[in-house]
Structure 1
Amino acid sequence: MSKKQISSERKTLYMAGVILTGIGMLLFLSTFLVFLNPNSFFNTGNPFGFMIRPFVGILMIAGGNFMRILAARGTAGSGLVLDPEKAREDLRPWTSMAGSMVQDALDETTLNTKKESIKIRCQNCTTLNDEDSKFCKSCGKSL
């Protein structure tokens, strides 16, 4: 595996985090279905029993998001382990991608702005001058 690839363990952890976040969202949002059936609101025996489901859902959402961040950035890149060298290694796929995107944007903008410039050599001192110059920028003689 090259240094620019993300390990399969990190990819698996990321997908597990996505699934856990999705299940947590479903648990949290299912609480609002209680209001469609008003009789089920107080049939739990405990008036606060309906609050367990959204609480567990919020915990699952938080845990899933933590897993996603940890998998995407690595242990050092996310700040869980304080090691600058390991952080550089963990974040290498993202920094190389960002650097490539910046380079692509620069290439695109500079590609259209490049202009050919023709230089004229002074016969007196052999300095290169711009094409539209009337006098040499070094010795001042007429071109």
Structure 2
Amino acid sequence: MPTIKSSYLGNLRTESEHLQSSVKILTDAPVDNNGKGEAFSPTDLVASALGSCMVTIMGIVANRDSVSLDGLTWEVTKIMQGSPRKINEIIVDFNWDNPITDTSMIQKLKNAAKTCPVALSLDSEIKQTLNFNF
């Protein structure tokens, strides 16, 4: 059974629907690639997926050990390569204003992030730079 159903809407825009939840996402080509840049580009979604996957797996580890990740935020920077046009690097900056002080747990969280399914699925040519500001 499919997970996602998508349609081309014209003008370099697509719509994808997550079939289980009916949540929809639009994509638009970026301005530097003939688009309007009015929505996530497909490569933006890849970069966003990396950060979200990392935090999801960190959350699973934290929940298992009764640790709260409240206040954890992250910013993702995607760096494109010109020719061929592809993602060259994804930088994820994790920020946590009130982190836990258990160094063992912090290391577990970092390891969880580095081994999330998206991180392991991306081509090894895509540099993944992670900054844990906690």
Q: Structure 1 length normalisation: TM-score?
A: 0.23
Query: Which one has the largest radius of gyration?
Result: 1
Q: Name the structure where strand makes up a greater proportion of residues.
A: 2
Q: Structure 2 length normalisation: TM-score?
A: 0.24
